[in-house]
Amino acid sequence: MKEMWTYDKKARFDKKGGRWYFVRRDFYDADIPYEDRPVELYFRDDEGNQFGLLRFERQKDIPFRNYLVMINKIMNDQNFRLELLAPETKRVWNKNWK
């Protein structure tokens, strides 16, 4: 299965003014319909203290109405974010997407 990484270049800030970074990882396989492919959203804070991952096994399982709602929930809902923290994803941020 092929993959594509998409770095969100827009500056994103939570309600307290903290900056956040996001990158999306899409998987591609011609034999699997788009809505049935997995997707991952990696995130980190500006200080490098919080690294996390929100993964959906199928695109159609994403419960958020759009991307902005999803990232705002990650940035501003601490309880939700705590469930997604995955320090091992720090290595993902060594890639160069810019």
Q: What percent of the chain has pLDDT over 90?
A: 74
User: What is the rounded CA–CA span in Å between residue 49 and residue 29?
Assistant: 34
DSSP 43: E
Give the number of domains in the chain.
Answer: 1
Domain containing 48 equals 2-94
- Give pLDDT, residue 61: 86
Q: What percent of the chain has pLDDT over 70?
A: 97
DSSP 33: -
Q: pLDDT digit string (tens) for 52-84?
A: 999 999 988 888 878 899 999 999 999 999 999
Degrees, nearest 5: CA angle 63-91-56: 15
pTM (predicted TM-score): 0.90
